[in-house]
Amino acid sequence: MHRHKWKDSAACYEYDTNIFFDKYEEDETLRPAVDKLCSQCPVAKTCFAVGVSTKEWGVWGGIYLEGGQISKEFNSHRDSNAWGETWKYLTM
């Protein structure tokens, strides 16, 4: 099985991956905690880039993607300031 070495440095390395997929979709109260975890991750930029380029679903780099596209539905809990901070972090 191919393994991405960058994942070994991820803040979520030892977390249950369901918090980035099904649980994130089902539990709105979980979303801010996942967002915070990703915002402190040293490999969030790489994670987001992989998610977009491989057309993934779920949280990648702190952004919920659907087929590699930013999901309006599952990112709607963010206000404009949170979006600005996240986007700045991922693109700078």
Domain ranges of the chain: 13-91
For residue 26, with 0-12 CB atoms within 10 Å meaning exposed, 13-18 middle and 19 or more buried, which class applies? exposed
What percent of the chain clears pLDDT 70, i.e. is strictly above it? 97
Task: Please state, in angstroms and rounded to a whole number, the distance separating the CA atoms of residues 18 and 81.
Answer: 27
Instruction: Output the pTM of the full model.
Output: 0.87
Task: Kindly tell me if the per-residue pLDDT of 9 is higher than 60.
Answer: yes
pLDDT digits (tens, 9 = 90+) for 35-69: 999 999 999 999 999 999 999 999 999 999 999 99
Residue 84 has a pLDDT of 82
